[in-house]
A and B are shown apart, each in its own frame.
Chain A
Amino acid sequence: MTAESLPSGQINSLADIPEYKGLWSWVTSIDHKQLGIMYISSAFAFFLVGLSFGIIMRTQLLVPMNRFVAQDFYNQVFTMHGTTMIFLMAMPLLFGFSVYLVPLMIGARDMAFPRLNAMGYWIYLFGSLMLFFSFVGGGAPAAGWFSYAPLTEKGFSFDPGITYWALSLLVIGVGSVATGINLIATILTFRAPGMSLQRVPLFVWMVLATSFLVIMSLPALNAAIIMILFDRILNTHFFAPAYGGSALLWQNYFWFFGHPEVYILILPGFGVVTEVIPVFSRKVLFGAGFLAASTVAITFLSFGVWMHHMFATGLGFSVLYVFALSSLLIAVPTGIKIWNWIATMWGGSIRFTTAMLFATAFLIQFTIGGLSGVLFAVIPLDWQLTDSYFVVAHIHYVLLGGMFFAMLSGVYYWFPKVTGRMLSEKLGRWHFWLMVLGFNGTFFVMHLLGVFGMPRRVWTYPYGQPMVAYLNMFSSLSSYVLAFSILIFFWNMISSLYKGKIAGDNPWQAWTLEWATSSPPPPENFDSLPPVYSRRPLWDLENAAAKVPEGGEQS
C-alpha cells in the first residue's frame, strides 16, 4: 500500500479514539459510525428477543396438542416474533450497515443530515420499547405481523395491544422515512471526487434503491396505521365491513408497503454479497452493469406485485392475471443477480473465509427461497400453499437464509473495520456450520408441513397425522441447534472485541474506499482519499501501472 492514502496516527480499536470515549459521547452522538454501531447492536439485541419468541413457538409445536404455553400467549408470541424480526431487527440492521458504510464507501465525512440520522435511531429505539411495553401495558398485540382487519378492530381485539403495535410502527416508520431521505441525499451529493454514480460500490447502489423503496412504500403503511388508529380510538370504520368499511382495503395498503418491504430487506443483503464475493474470489465483479440495472428493475417491479399476497381473497380474473405475470417477471432480475455472482466466482481464486462461507450459503438458500416464491406466483399453486407452513418456510429462506445470512457475511467481513479486531475464524466456522444445519433443519421441513396441510399461525395441531408430528419435532429440535449457533456468534463477537487479532487497515486486501482508512476509522473518516477511477480505487492504487482510464478524473 502507498503511504499517502493512509490516515496518520495509530488507531487499532475504538478505545484509541478519544471522541468515542464514555457513554455520553454515544448518547449525544451524531457520528454516522457510532449511530451505525448503535443501530446494529440494537438490531442484534432484538434479534435475540425475536429468536427467543421463535424458540417458544418451536417448543410449543414440539408435540401435538402441547400445552407448553397458552394459546393467547402463543398468538402474542408469533405476532411479536414477526414484528420484532421485520421492524425492530431486519430494518435497523440494514440501516445500521447503510449509515455506517455508505459515507465510508463514497469517501464522505458523514451523512448529509447527521442530526436527522440520530433522530432516526432514537425514535426507532423508543418506538421499539413502546411496542414491548405492551406486554405490561394490557397485553401484547396478537393479530399477526400484518394485522389483518377487521380482527384488529376494537370489537375483535379489545386489549390495547394493537394500539401499541400501530403507534410504535408509526413512530418507527417515520424514522425510517427520515433515514431513507438521508441516505438518498448522502449518496447523491456526498460522493468523493471522481466517484460518478457508475463508480459507486454496488452495496451503495443497492442501498440507494432500498432508500427509494423506503420513502415510497412506508407512507402507505403509515397512512393505513393512522386509519386503524382512527378506527380504534375515534370510532371511524375504515376497515369495519359491518359499518360499510372494507377489510380488503387494509390488505391492499399493507401489502403495497409489505411487498416492497421484502425488497427493502433483501437489497442491502444483495449489496453485501456483491462486495464480499469479488473480494474473496480475487476477481472484478462480473456484469456489474447488469447487477445495477437488475436492481432498478426490481425496484420498479416490486411496486406492482403486492396482490400476490392476496391471491386467495377472491379477486377478479384480470387483476389476478396481471399480478401473476408481474410476480413471475420479478424472478428474472433476481435470477440475473444469482448468475452474475456465480460468474464472478467462476475462475476465481476463492478464499473460503467465514464471510465467504456465509455468502455461498446465501446463494444456495436464497435460490431455494426464490424458487419457492415462483410457486406462489403460479396462482393455482398459491391457492394450495398460501397461509400454510410452506409460506413460513419460504419467508424464512428468503429473510433468514437469504437476508440474514448475507448480513452475517457482512458482519464477518466488516467487523475488523468497525472494531479494529478480527473475528475468530475458528468460532466463525462452528457458527457457520451449526447455523446451516440448524437453519435448514428447522425450515426445510416446513415446506413439507405445508404440503401435509398444516396452516400457519396455529398454536397446536391434532393427533393422528404422524408425518406432521415427526416433521414438527424435527423442526423444533433443529431450531435449538440454530439458537445455539447464534450464541456462538455472539460469544465470538464479544470475545473478539477484546481478544481478537489486530486487523490493520485492510485485512482482506479489499478494494473499496472504506479500507483506505484506519480500522476503526477516525471521526471524520479520511485524512486523504485515493483518486477514484473505477469501482475499485484500491485495486487501481495497487496496480498503479494500470492505465488511467480515458476521461480521467471526474468531479
Chain B
Amino acid sequence: MDLTNAQSTNIFAFATEQARTIVQLHYATLAVCTLIAMTVIGLLSFIIVKFRHQDGNPDPEQYEGNLKYELTWTLIPTAIVLGLGIATAVVMHTINPPVGNNQPDVIVIAHQWWWEYRYPKKGVVVANELYLPEGVNTLLEMRSADVVHSFWVPAFGEKMDTIPGHPNHIFYKPLKPGLFVGACAEFCGADHALMRILVNVVPPKEYDAWLENQKKVPDAPTDETAQRGKELFLSKTCVQCHSVAGTTAQALVAPDLTHLATRQTIGAGVLPNTVDNVAAWISNAQDFKPGCHMPNMRVSKEEAHAIAVYLEGLK
C-alpha cells in the first residue's frame, strides 16, 4: 500500500486532543531524561579526558564513599520520579476518564487480520475503514474476535490492546480532518504486518451523511456483468463468510461487503480498491496476503471479474 496521501504517522504530530496532552507530557519527560543523559555523558567525557592514566602516575587517593553525595543522587532522582508520577496520574485522568454508563459510539472488533467497526447507535457495520467526526469526543470499545491485537493510530495518542473476553475503552477527540493510518501493534500471527488501520476524520455533517449512506441497502445491480457477478457471489462459498445487506449473504466471519465500493483499500490496507485488484484478490488472496483466512476461491478469471464488478457497484 502507498501511504503518500495519508497524514503523518509521527507520534508527535498529534491529531486528537488526547494526543496533544500526551505530546506535552512527552516533551517534558524527554527534557528531564535528556538533561540526565547529558549530565552522565558530560561527566564521563570529562573523566575520560582528565583522569587518563599516564606513565609514572602515582596510585590515586583511595576513598570509599561520601554520604552527602549518596544522599544527593538518591533524593534528587526520587523527587524527579515522584514528580513524573504525579504528572502521569493527572494526564491519565484527563485523557482516559472512567467510562461509567456511557455507551460506545464505535465498537472496534479486531480479527486475524482485519478490523470490524460497528456503530451500535446507528446500526452500521463496516470493515477496515473507520470514520470519526472531527471535534467530537468519541468513545470506542475495543474487542477481539480471536487473539490479542492492538489498535494503534500514532497520531491519535493512546493505543489500546484488543483482548478476547476483556473489552476495553478509549476516547478520541479528533482535531483535524484527513486520512490517518496506523497498524495492529500486538503480534497476532501470520499477517500481523499486513493488518493496517485507516481512519477518515471528517466534519460532523459529512460524517452523518456517510453514516446515512452506510445504513442504506445498496441498489441492485443493473448491468449484465454485475448481475452475473451477484449470482456467482451468492452461489459460491463467498456467503459462508461475507455479508451484503439486502441479500442472503449474512455471515459474520469475514469483512462486511455491503458498501465495499466506498472504501479505499481491500485486505486491510493491502491493495488499492479497484475492480482489477478485487478480481485478482478473489482469484487468490494468498498471493497478496499469504496466510490470510480467505482461501483460493478456484474461480475462473471471467468469474472473478464478474464478482468484482458486482462488488464494486456496492456504493
Interface residues of A (CB under 8 A from B): 70-72, 75, 142-144, 148-151, 156-157, 241-242, 246-248, 281-290, 312-314, 317, 320-321, 324-325, 328-329, 331-332, 335-336, 338-340, 342-343, 345-352, 360, 363-364, 367-368, 371-372, 374-375, 377-381, 383-388, 450-453, 455-465, 468
Tell me, rounded to whole Å, the shortest Cβ–Cβ distance linking A107 to chain B. 22
Are B29 and A374 in touch, CB under 8 angstroms?
Answer: yes
Given A332-B78, A378-B87, A287 contacting B70 (CB threshold 8 A): yes
Q: Across the interface, which residues of A come within 8 angstroms of B81, CB to CB?
A: 328-329, 331-332, 374, 377
Task: Say yes or no: A281 contacts B60, CB within 8 Å.
Answer: yes
Q: Which of B160-168, B202-210, B220-228, B240-248 contacts A (4 or more CB under 8 A)?
A: B160-168
Residues A321 and B92 in contact in the complex (CB < 8 Å), given A241-B164, A247-B164, A453-B9 = yes
Is A241 a contact of B188 with CB atoms below 8 Å?
Answer: no
In the assembly, what is the distance between CA of A377 and CA of B83, in Å? Answer: 12
Contacts of A72 in B (CB 8 A): 190, 290-291
Query: Which of B77, B78, B147 is within 8 Å of A150, CB to CB?
Result: B147
Q: Which of B52, B91, B291 contacts A352 (CB 8 A)?
A: B52
Docked complex Cα distance between A515 and B91 (Å): 54
By the criterion CB–CB under 8 Å, are B53 and A282 in contact?
yes
**Distance (Å) between the CB of B32 and the closest chain A CB?**
8
Do the beta carbons of B154 and A148 come within 8 Å of each other?
no
Q: Is A384 a contact of B22 with CB atoms below 8 Å?
A: yes
B183 within 8 A of A: yes
Query: Interface digits, B146-173 against A, CB 8 Å rule (1 contact, 0 not)?
Result: 1110101011011111011111110000
- The answer to the question of B251 belonging to the interface, with a C-beta cut-off of 8 Å to chain A, is no
Known: A71-B191, A75-B190, A349-B59. A378 touches B29 (CB 8 A): yes
Chain A residues with CB under 8 Å of B252's CB are none
A192 CB to nearest chain B CB (Å)? 22
Q: How far is the CB of B69 from chain A (nearest CB, A)?
A: 7
A332 contacts B150, C-beta separation under 8 Å = no
When distances are taken between beta carbons in the complex, the residues of chain B under 8 Å from A148 are 147-148, 186-187
The residue in chain A whose Cβ has the minimal distance to the Cβ of B14 is: A384
Residue contact A247 to B157, C-beta cutoff 8 Å: no
Q: Does B44 contact A (CB under 8 A)?
A: yes
Report if B61 contacts A (CB, 8 A).
Answer: yes
List A contacts of B84 (CB < 8 A).
328, 374, 377-378
Q: Which residue of A lies closest to B9 (CB)?
A: A453
User: In the complex, how many angstroms separate the beta carbon of A185 from the nearest chain B beta carbon?
Assistant: 30
Given contacts A248-B163, A290-B65, A462-B2, contact A348 B187 (CB under 8 A): no
Residues in B22-59 with C-beta less than 8 Å from chain A? 22, 25-26, 29-30, 33, 36-37, 40-41, 43-44, 47-48, 51-54, 57-59
Inside 8 A of A289's CB, which chain B residues have their CB?
65
CB–CB A284/B166 < 8 A: no
Question: Contacts A348-B51, A384-B158, A455-B185; is A247 near B165 (CB within 8 Å)?
Answer: yes
The answer on a CB contact under 8 Å between B182 and A453 is yes
Residues of A within 8 A of B93 (CB): 317
Complex CA gap A363/B98 in Å reads 42
Q: By the criterion CB–CB under 8 Å, are A453 and B2 in contact? A: no
Across-interface contacts of B63 in A (CB, < 8 A): 284, 286
Rounded to whole angstroms, the CA-CA distance of A338 and B73 in the bound complex is 10
On whether A342 and B40 interact (CB within 8 A), knowing A148-B148, A312-B150, A381-B29, the answer reads: yes
A-B contact pairs, 21 of them (CB 8 A): A143-B189, A148-B148, A150-B146, A150-B148, A247-B147, A284-B64, A328-B81, A336-B70, A340-B70, A342-B43, A345-B47, A350-B53, A364-B40, A367-B41, A371-B36, A375-B33, A377-B84, A383-B160, A384-B11, A452-B9, A455-B152
Which 5 residue pairs across A and B have the least CB separation, nearest first?
A241-B165, A453-B9, A314-B168, A464-B3, A453-B154
Contact A332 B77 (CB under 8 A): yes
Q: In the bound complex, what is the Cα–Cα distance between A151 and B2 (angstroms)?
A: 29
Chain B residues within 8 Å of A452, by CB: 9-11, 154
CB nearest neighbor in A for B40: A367
Contact present for B193 and A459 (CB under 8 Å): yes
- Give chain B's interface residue range (CB within 8 Å of chain A): 35 or more
User: CB distance B77 to A331 under 8 Å?
Assistant: yes
Interchain CB contact under 8 A, B185 and A387: yes
Interface of B toward A, CB cutoff 8 Å: 1-4, 6, 9-12, 21-22, 25-26, 29-30, 33, 36-37, 40-41, 43-44, 47-48, 51-54, 57-66, 69-70, 73-74, 77-78, 81-82, 84-85, 87-89, 91-93, 95, 98, 112, 142, 146-148, 150, 152, 154-155, 157-161, 163-169, 182-194, 196, 269, 290-291
Question: Which chain B residue lies CB-closest to A466?
Answer: B4
- CB-CB under 8 A from A350, the residues of chain B are 47-48, 51-53
Of B48, B77, B142, the residue contacting A314 (CB under 8 A) is B142
Q: Which residue of A lies closest to B156 (CB)?
A: A384
A367 to B30, CA, bound (A): 14
In the complex the two chains form, what is the Cα distance from A453 to B161 in whole Å? 16
Partner of A329, one of B48, B57, B78: B78
B185 touches A462 (CB 8 A): no
Could you say which of B60, B152, B194, B269 contacts A282, with CB atoms under 8 Å apart?
A: B60
Known: A143-B189, A282-B59, A388-B185. 15 other contacts (CB 8 A): A70-B290, A71-B193, A142-B190, A148-B148, A157-B189, A314-B160, A328-B82, A342-B44, A350-B51, A378-B84, A380-B22, A387-B185, A388-B152, A455-B183, A465-B9
Q: Is the CB of A71 within 8 A of B36?
A: no
Chain A residues with Cβ below 8 Å from B159 are 312, 383-384, 386-387
Minimum CB–CB distance for B159 against chain A, Å: 6
Which A residues are CB-close (under 8 A) to B59?
282, 349
Residues of B within 8 A of A71 (CB): 190-191, 193, 290-291
Contact status of A151 and B158, CB under 8 A, knowing A289-B65, A321-B89, A360-B48? no
The answer for the CA separation of A368 and B36 in the assembled complex, in Å, is 9
In angstroms, how far is the closest chain A Cβ from the Cβ of B199?
A: 13
Cβ–Cβ < 8 Å partners of A317 in chain B? 92-93, 98
Known: A241-B165, A387-B159. A453 touches B186 (CB 8 A): no
Q: Which residues of B contact A313 (CB under 8 A)?
A: 161, 163, 166, 168
Q: How far is the CB of B107 from chain A (nearest CB, A)?
A: 14
Check A151/B165 contact, CB under 8 A, given A290-B65, A451-B12, A457-B187: no
Which B residue's beta carbon lies closest to that of A328? B81
Residues of B within 8 A of A360 (CB): 44, 48
